Structure 1
Amino acid sequence: MSNAQLASFKVPEIKNEPFKHYAPGSPERTAIESALNEMKQSLPFEVPIIINGKPVKTGKLGKQIIPSDHARVLAVYHEADDSLVNAAIDGALAAKTTWETLPWNDRAAIFLKAADLVSGKYRYKLLAATMLGQGKNVWQAEIDAAAELADFFRFGVKFVEQLYSQQPDQNTSGSWNRVEYRPLEGFVLAVSPFNFTAIGGNLPGVPALLGNVVVWKPSPAATYSNYLVYQILTEAGVPPGVIQFVPGPPPQIVKQAISHPSFAALHFTGSTHVFKQLWKDIAANLDKYKGYPRIVGETGGKNFHLVHSSASIPNAVNQSIRGAFEYQGEVPRVNRVVPPSLITLFVLKGQKCSALSRLYVSSSVWNNGFKELLISETKKIKVGDPIEFLHFNGPVIGRPAFDKIVGYIEKAKKAGAEVLTGGTWDDSKGYFIQPTILLSGDPQSITFQEEIFGPVLSVYVYDDKKWDETLTLIDTTSIYGLTGAIFANDRAALVQATNRLRNAAGNVYYNEKCTGAVVGQQPFGGARASGTNDKAGSISIFYRFVSARSIKENFVNLEDFSYPSNLV
């Protein structure tokens, strides 16, 4: 039985969480250093499965290593088996009625409290776990695990309030029309990635905020930070069973969940290949389900910067460096002369789906200082352990990523690309790859088309006279459509590029890097092979996890079934 709702409540004003700068001598620098030291002294942590609020230990352990020091283990986690996945599903379904009938203001209060715990009590612990476990430096971890995670929870409350307020504005005399936004019938499976702690919180958080129950499978490479997020949600008041925390082998857990008759939705962030396969598997199971499951996914990108001849060179260079190399990417040195129309560069890009991956530069801009500035500035990038504050870049996430990135560099060299800078790596202690740019004459090569997620930005220097052809090239080279940026002071060029590249990016930026979407400011997501474009960080994503029901209440009795037109 639900509690009485005795007022129509309004949530507090919501603003983006300010992020701290961690300058030397600042209180936040001291706090994060303390949190890192404390965490390093307590390794390794043990992470259980959490079913119905109770820890479960199977004894079958997986390891989350520290990618900057892979001999050390950040956490061991117990892996769920089929029976535990079924127990998690059953427990979630048992918790569903109580959770979905809890008054909205109480669910809202829980998530607002969770945001305050993220930005306050747990801030530095979350940052330390993200830095050690996922290889981010403190600036990147602050934006992710503190600011964005808090924003997701707070703005989520605001967006659901707005969603619930959307009601019919027309009522026939003697009646009242209204709409309720029901949670989905069944449970939601949330499959979160390694690269953003905030996404780990948002994927189960969005459906749960709407009254859904969730089975959450965290990434093996982000298990500890995600476990902290789960603990925060529990401390904030999410009841046992509403979010089931189920680490373990991804294929096994996901297969078990999507085979269940009560599977209602997938909320996924990860690789394109996996997402496509899951879509096929869900379709193959369609006759098992009560309804048609919602499939919400954000996958990869092959994101572009387009630099027009009218662009500001320093801005375009610095924005490209940030866009390509934040959270593990790197950059260039030119060794030989190639005709401007054939210059192609490959650069390591960041471990985030929005990172700059293809850079198209006007030959007049390239030859007027862009190349030299790009090279000189990117050479300043320091690569190393992210807990040492001077490092702009840390390690890639693990051995598979490291081997994949190195493999692409080697493939490019065998195909005739010239190493302009970097091209070296060191995995003796951590998974470090030095800033690398490869020069090629083929803008359709494999590294322009396939996502590498940890390195490869492809830069093509085009002839100014071939602006129109370059727009076609950008639009047709990649299967993805996530983010892009256009650098130009010529308004006509901006407009033309925007129109021609309408479907090439779900997020497009003018004179600004293609990364860094802010919750409540730039709804994030892309189409084509990049996902379902349901726009995380906006009200749009919340529509996907409700099933609306229209209610009409009549106040006036019908005295006669016949129509007035029947009278003669």
Structure 2
Amino acid sequence: MVATYTHHFDTSLYKGNVTVHTGLYIDGKWVNPIEGGSIDIVNPTNGKVITAVAGAGAKDVDAAVKAARKAYKTSWGLKVPGAERGKLLDKLADLVEKHQHQLAALEALNVGKHYHMALGMDLAFSIQTLRYYAGWSDKVQGKTIETNDKKLAYTRHEPWGVVGAIVPWNFPLMMAMIKLGPALATGNVVVLKPSDVTPLTALFLADLINEAGFPPGVVNIVNGYGNTAGAAISGHPSIEKVAFTGSTLVGRKILKAASESNLKAVTLELGGKSPTIVFDDANLDQAIKWAARGMFFNMGQACIAGSRIYVQEGIYDKFLEGFTQAAQGLTKAAGGPFEEGVQHGPQVSQTQFDRVMGYISSGKSDGAKVHVGGEREGEQGYFIKPTVFVDAKPDMKIMQEEIFGPVCSIVKFKTEEEVTEWANDTTYGLAANILTENNGRAVRMANALEAGSIFVNCASAPEIGLPFGGYKQSGLGREMGEAALYTYTQLKAVHVNIGQVL
């Protein structure tokens, strides 16, 4: 018998009981780990254990892969028309929408983000993603290609088979949907590993997948640590593709494991060190608001966080003043996920808290100046005040490495050419933000910046219909949009002789 955990929410924002199974979801059933093991799940607002969930090992991953392969060959894949796959994805979207308040409450509890953010962003985007790929399910098409009058030649996009999906802790449910949506729409089966820090919404989702009517084994969910369950997925010889979102360091390990096992296809959405570039002619009020959103959204725990803010000298002082007020306002609005008026929550874990505070110490010791923030907020939980550095130099760790917390540097620049060089001076290339009222400059900069997503007069504003991914060490391949469909399929060319005679 697999245990369950029920959390009793009694807050002004959400009241109710939410129950999740705490085991592994394999072959349409809840099971306990073959070799035992559990993982404590911690509330980031107070550091207390919420519950414990099962921790999968290599044998559990192997069982999940076998169940997935069986489903692919018998009840999914090319045996199920795209229109039918789309109906199931639509039904799952309906169920997620029906239970969105419960899911949002779980996400807020587990991650520490505010309930309204979890509901309005994470859940809304998750539902939208499922519906978007449900619509694509019967529209994945090949081409008839002209050769000569004695041959029929055409292409097919066929699923890989078993896909391993490894998702991070900052947007747990949303990232799972961004992988499940296109994978299932194109006929793949999935072994999903949620983060060991934030697995609760994935566990709740498993029962909705079952209720929606997906055949057993089509989706399997194995909670576990990266060095056990994640490593087993990356190196499994029967997994044909891995989709991973997380750090560049782990991405390298996955790529190595994939190459050393069966040369499985790999999609990597990795780290970022995004520049936000504010020109003299920008709408100052809007520039401050967008730059603050682009940096402090989700407590800075976003791969596209605009943590290097370059401001042209003509408005630098006014921008710094306004941005400082925005950061201080967030500090005053810090609190738990179910408190009214909260705009800034905790880091997700003690590990992440320590990592961010380490970067703040590094910035100080390297000679940058803390303009605002730079210390913990409160006495319990993992809260860090929104932090702004000035006088940072390009080679400092805080300017080169991804911090993944509410820490940024504001740097003055003179010319377009100068700031373009600075913005591109990083190993990352995930996103960039440009704030200017000059359309010609906006297009020039968008073309010149080495990043996969460019946001003009906005920040942290992705859309499900647009591809998302990185240049340089920010990743391989693309997620979201039509582009994702082709990372979950392999292309076959068919040559049919209709008249050639030897």
Q: What's the CA shift for 1:265?
A: 0.6
Corresponding residue for 2:307? Answer: 357
Matched, 1:486 2:434: yes
Quick one: distance in 2 between partners of 1:414 and 1:377? 26
1:508 to 441, 449, 454: 454
Superposed CA deviations along residues 386-417 of structure 1, whole A, max 9, x for unmatched, are 21131111110000000011111112112222
Q: What's the CA shift for 1:441?
A: 4.4
Secondary structure of the corresponding residue to residue 345 of structure 2: coil
Equivalences for 1:22-421 in 2 at 5 Å? 36-39=14-17, 46-58=21-33, 59-73=36-50, 75-97=51-73, 98-100=75-77, 101-119=79-97, 121-164=98-141, 166-168=142-144, 170=146, 177-184=153-160, 186-196=161-171, 197-285=173-261, 289=262, 292-328=263-299, 350-367=300-317, 369-381=318-330, 382-421=333-372
Q: What's the CA shift for 1:172?
A: 5.9
Quick one: distance in 2 between partners of 1:115 and 1:532? 28
Provide closer, same or farther for how the CA distance between residues 155 and 33 of structure 1 changes in structure 2, counting only shifts above 3 A. Answer: farther
1:137–1:392: 8 Å Cα contact kept in structure 2? yes
2:81–2:138: 8 Å Cα contact kept in structure 1? no
Provide closer, same or farther for how the CA distance between residues 546 and 495 of structure 1 changes in structure 2, counting only shifts above 3 A. Answer: closer
Quick one: distance in 2 between partners of 1:262 and 1:250? 19
Quick one: distance in 2 between partners of 1:111 and 1:35? 29
Secondary structure of the corresponding residue to residue 133 of structure 1: helix
Superposed CA deviations along residues 35-68 of structure 1, whole A, max 9, x for unmatched, are 84324xx68x551111111111245211111111
Corresponding residue for 2:3? Answer: none
2:412 to 461, 466, 488: 461
Matched, 1:545 2:493: no
1:527 to 462, 465, 471: 471
Quick one: distance in 2 between partners of 1:92 and 1:297? 22
Quick one: distance in 1 between partners of 2:103 and 2:371? 38
Provide closer, same or farther for how the CA distance between residues 252 and 490 of structure 1 changes in structure 2, counting only shifts above 3 A. Answer: same
TM-score by length of 2: 0.91
Quick one: distance in 2 between partners of 1:391 and 1:510? 28
Quick one: distance in 2 between partners of 1:229 and 1:201? 10
Where do 4+ consecutive residues of structure 1 move more than 4 Å? 31-35, 169-178
Corresponding residue for 1:336? Answer: none
**AA aligned opposite 2:43:** I
2:398 to 435, 442, 447: 447
1:92–1:244: 8 Å Cα contact kept in structure 2? yes
Which range moves more in the overlay, 371-380 or 92-101?
371-380
2:269–2:469: 8 Å Cα contact kept in structure 1? yes
Q: What's the CA shift for 1:484?
A: 0.7
Corresponding residue for 2:4? Answer: none
Counting matched residue pairs gives 487
Quick one: distance in 2 between partners of 1:48 and 1:240? 16
Quick one: distance in 1 between partners of 2:59 and 2:206? 22
Provide closer, same or farther for how the CA distance between residues 193 and 85 of structure 1 changes in structure 2, counting only shifts above 3 A. Answer: same
Q: What's the CA shift for 1:246?
A: 0.8
Corresponding residue for 1:15? Answer: none
Superposed CA deviations along residues 72-105 of structure 1, whole A, max 9, x for unmatched, are 41x3211122222211111111111121111221
Q: What's the CA shift for 1:440?
A: 2.2
Q: What's the CA shift for 1:429?
A: 2.5
Runs of 5+ unmatched residues, structure 1 = 1-30, 329-349, 563-568
Q: What's the CA shift for 1:34?
A: 7.5
Quick one: distance in 2 between partners of 1:187 and 1:244? 11
Which range moves more in the overlay, 420-429 or 276-285?
420-429
Quick one: distance in 2 between partners of 1:421 and 1:256? 44
**AA aligned opposite 1:294:** A
TM-score by length of 1: 0.81
Secondary structure of the corresponding residue to residue 307 of structure 2: strand
Which range moves more in the overlay, 209-218 or 269-278?
209-218
Corresponding residue for 1:565? Answer: none
Structure number, greater radius of gyration: 1
**Identity, % of aligned pairs?**
28
**AA aligned opposite 1:205:** G
**AA aligned opposite 1:56:** V
Secondary structure of the corresponding residue to residue 283 of structure 1: helix
Provide closer, same or farther for how the CA distance between residues 380 and 441 of structure 1 changes in structure 2, counting only shifts above 3 A. Answer: closer
Quick one: distance in 1 between partners of 2:12 and 2:69? 41
Quick one: distance in 2 between partners of 1:171 and 1:150? 43
Provide closer, same or farther for how the CA distance between residues 261 and 523 of structure 1 changes in structure 2, counting only shifts above 3 A. Answer: closer
RMSD: 2.3
Secondary structure of the corresponding residue to residue 65 of structure 2: helix
Q: What's the CA shift for 1:255?
A: 2.5
Which range moves more in the overlay, 217-226 or 246-255?
246-255
Provide closer, same or farther for how the CA distance between residues 411 and 441 of structure 1 changes in structure 2, counting only shifts above 3 A. Answer: closer
Corresponding residue for 1:20? Answer: none
Superposed CA deviations along residues 331-353 of structure 1, whole A, max 9, x for unmatched, are xxxxxxxxxxxxxxxxxxx1111
Quick one: distance in 1 between partners of 2:490 and 2:44? 42
Quick one: distance in 1 between partners of 2:481 and 2:270? 18
1:191–1:216: 8 Å Cα contact kept in structure 2? yes
Quick one: distance in 2 between partners of 1:124 and 1:364? 46
